[in-house]
Structure 1
């Protein structure tokens, strides 16, 4: 092996591909632009609608969600009507990283979300140094690596970005922290590469994800939360500045890898303005079922509002526990209802039926009654109108049976709702429910979009663009195939356009 790594996988979490291409065309992202010219490129096909929570487990395992059991960090606990916190170690399928390491290959991972890697003398892993979703404190293998990480990169200068409020000084600190984090991430990557040679090296940049959620309105004059006066402090386009910091660090890492490495760069999915009606979904379901809508005030909601006003430094360490405590009083209510909204990311909505034989106190009979109720509820939800525009509030609804086929189908939503993201949704209306306001405590101004982009560069590949979109689950077996490893029992297949003839497996 020549160079620090034979195969390198660099992911740009939630980097919006339309912005990447726009800024490349303007010469603002020179390193990504160079890779575009030198690579085989393709759009990617992610899991439908609920992709933001299922994407990383599917990427890490090469299987679709119904086989790996994860769509969000809070999922139903079916021994009761509460929620359970889903952690990476709860995944039901082993990772490709383990499969490759078990074949004797040296594997190094840095901040790859939800990635499981066995701890051996041939593996290295840094987790939760600067990930978007902070599930654990910094974790390193081998343990002695933690001190080196602290010396090279320090502590994460950002932390949990969802604790940031839409205030100019806080947004400025976030922007500067993300730029600094992208720079330190490259420092850390180069130090790990120097420990090589590695057979497989993987690194994730989380900065575009955090920036897309919190900084979107700073660059979008059409966004209702856009403030022109913020620009004096934040600059003309804070999001571009973060992308440029990522681009600079990407260039440093790719240069260190050299031309001898196979380099795969994945922009996992995209970002756009956060326009949805997720906060009103459960109230809509209550009205559709002839129930009183839960009050937006009262002791629990008042405590929650006070909680959201606390500084991020106070809320951060207790955020996940607070989610579960806030949910506790709702468990008894769920047992009495035919269908409820269950947590998903806000770009979509999830509906769960209280199904007899599946839930402890099921009220909906399986079979035809369940299907008829699904049909009726789907029609009612599709009739919701955005009061501000008169356009449909819901773009489409998919059945869980189709989305999550596999052994864990019963642990997912029964209906998944894709909101119409074309315009803000201040309120929804339909003949059956009347009008309901959408009031969300979520500070995000940007949210997920489904399109991803993948680039593969190697001296044995001729640059060209592929038609259509390749499945996300095909990337895992492709990385393995570049090392001569065949993965069995997964949903994906190696992408032949990313392989030279002699590595087809």
Structure 2
């Protein structure tokens, strides 16, 4: 069967693609929609980069591939550690193909650092700690690309840095430049290598939505009509540049290549109601702070609260560039000590049954035998507590309207299974729009549910957020034309791509081949097979970032809104 190229557009929304395609603004994608099969691609819970892309390329859930997020619980302490590709326990699509002697090109897919040996080329993605690192296989590919490009290679755009410095025009330049460099790199590699499979990811479609949604959407409360007149087209411009580059690439590749367009999630406006989960848990007696635990507890709480307030003052008084410089000057032991105090500031573990890191809608049970100071017994007590928390969450209402705030609370085993279940929170909370979870940790006072103030809205750097439905567009031999499909899951991508390449689907894959995208006569003439090479589990090296790399990754994640 034909070669397959998978084009990842991080955060790309199918509703935006269809809207702009119908208006003639995205001619390449419009042609693919007209002559191919398309539909929403359901993301993971939660719909964030690390888990979604990894689920897509492995065909299994996070309980089996392990990468639930950019970080995972360190079960020896009440803390977290950054993850990367070395933590991934299931083989990726390119690993399976390499083992079958198929030639691959992989560029900028998230969670691919450190680069693994493949039968071809791999250029790692956003978990790469910097251009100084060895992020390509084979070595020397970076230097080759920079000679061809005539400029430094771009792992991810520095849009987040320019936005924090108050220079959105420079952020726009960074986003468009990333699109150009990504496609130029892929064009060079596909010209100079023999290949059967190529996959690459454009990050700018996600960054443009995160940082410019308030200028794209006139209904957003922080919309500035004057600034929108200058920069309101950034999101569209990034999609248009991507569409133009995609058209050039496909023309060069010719018509014998099957095309798969995917995104890990969709995008929309940021929610303007905050839910502070630890405050909420404390209000129900499931979490206790040391401030009510005697003089020693009050002293520890005073220190933790002071750190949080001092950080808030620093952000309001000093420019981002100066704060970044100061943070880099801190000894690593200071940074870790301060981060630990912030993350679970003043929590009294001896009385706490449940807690949240408040980065997502995650709740952890303080479980005996798993957590350092666990007090909840496994079994009946654990299950009873989870049921009580679920019932309380499902009755949570917005104070100003009385409307439900929570869409669904999942027990982790309802969504995940496998050997890495303890890397996943005990409860996962999906909220109704327009709510979100606060990432401003450490301040225990105030309401558990609140609307952002006008001042907070106007000060937002990140105004776009993720949505559950990503994008799937298929085109190639046997694919139906102009058809819309539904009920496609992230795990379905790996089996479908392997089928398009005439390869057996691994028996461990949880997803399915999206049969409804193919002509019936084609599917009958090309029967689906299972088996083939590809182990279900792979050895994990557990690459540990250096102190400098750790700070660099944390800084980037903070800039993108994943952490404070």
Query: What is the TM-score when the length of structure 1 is the normalising length?
Result: 0.87
Counterpart of 1:250? Answer: 246
Deviation at 1:88, TM superposition (A): 1.6
Separation in 2, partners of 1:328, 1:62? 34
User: Which shifted more, 414-423 or 74-83?
Assistant: 414-423
Alpha-carbon spacing, 1:279–1:325, altered in 2? closer, same or farther (3 Å): farther
1:342 to 350, 357, 378: 357
Deviation at 1:435, TM superposition (A): 5.8
Deviation at 1:20, TM superposition (A): 0.8
**What's the secondary structure of 1:342's corresponding residue?**
coil
Alpha-carbon spacing, 1:164–1:371, altered in 2? closer, same or farther (3 Å): farther
1:410 to 422, 428, 446: 422
User: Which shifted more, 74-83 or 371-380?
Assistant: 371-380
Alpha-carbon spacing, 1:490–1:21, altered in 2? closer, same or farther (3 Å): same
1:193 to 190, 194, 203: 190
Q: Check if 1:156 corresponds to 2:154.
A: yes
1:145 to 141, 148, 151: 141
Separation in 2, partners of 1:438, 1:449? 20
Contact 1:157 1:180 in 2 (8 A): no
Alpha-carbon spacing, 1:328–1:434, altered in 2? closer, same or farther (3 Å): closer
Counterpart of 2:294? Answer: none
Counterpart of 1:273? Answer: 269
Deviation at 1:272, TM superposition (A): 0.8
Separation in 2, partners of 1:405, 1:111? 28
Segments of structure 2 that go 5 or more residues without pairing to the other structure are: 292-300, 439-445, 530-564
Deviation at 1:495, TM superposition (A): 2.8
Separation in 2, partners of 1:162, 1:393? 30
Counterpart of 2:471? Answer: 453
Counterpart of 2:512? Answer: 493
Separation in 2, partners of 1:173, 1:469? 39
Counterpart of 2:12? Answer: 15
1:181 to 163, 178, 181: 178
**What's the secondary structure of 2:196's corresponding residue?**
strand
Separation in 2, partners of 1:96, 1:425? 33
1:206 to 189, 203, 208: 203
**Which residues in structure 2 correspond to 1:306-385 (within 5 Å)?**
306=314, 309-312=318-321, 315=324, 324-329=336-341, 330=343, 333=347, 335-336=349-350, 337-342=352-357, 344-345=359-360, 349-385=361-397
Counterpart of 1:76? Answer: 73
**What's the secondary structure of 1:413's corresponding residue?**
coil
Deviation at 1:297, TM superposition (A): 4.6
Deviation at 1:95, TM superposition (A): 1.3
Separation in 2, partners of 1:493, 1:192? 30
Segments of structure 1 that go 5 or more residues without pairing to the other structure are: 427-432
Alpha-carbon spacing, 1:52–1:109, altered in 2? closer, same or farther (3 Å): closer
Q: Check if 1:303 corresponds to 2:311.
A: yes
**What's the secondary structure of 1:194's corresponding residue?**
helix
1:58 to 55, 58, 71: 55
Deviation at 1:436, TM superposition (A): 5.0
Q: Check if 1:394 corresponds to 2:390.
A: no
Separation in 1, partners of 2:527, 2:121? 25
User: Which shifted more, 363-372 or 111-120?
Assistant: 111-120
Residue-pair matches, total: 487
Separation in 2, partners of 1:455, 1:434? 44
Counterpart of 1:429? Answer: none
Separation in 1, partners of 2:321, 2:69? 22
Query: What is the TM-score when the length of structure 2 is the normalising length?
Result: 0.78
**What's the secondary structure of 1:193's corresponding residue?**
helix
**What's the secondary structure of 1:101's corresponding residue?**
helix
Alpha-carbon spacing, 1:413–1:211, altered in 2? closer, same or farther (3 Å): same
Alpha-carbon spacing, 1:468–1:451, altered in 2? closer, same or farther (3 Å): same
Contact 2:214 2:222 in 1 (8 A): yes
RMSD: 3.2
Alpha-carbon spacing, 1:326–1:359, altered in 2? closer, same or farther (3 Å): same
Separation in 2, partners of 1:135, 1:241? 28
Separation in 2, partners of 1:424, 1:91? 28
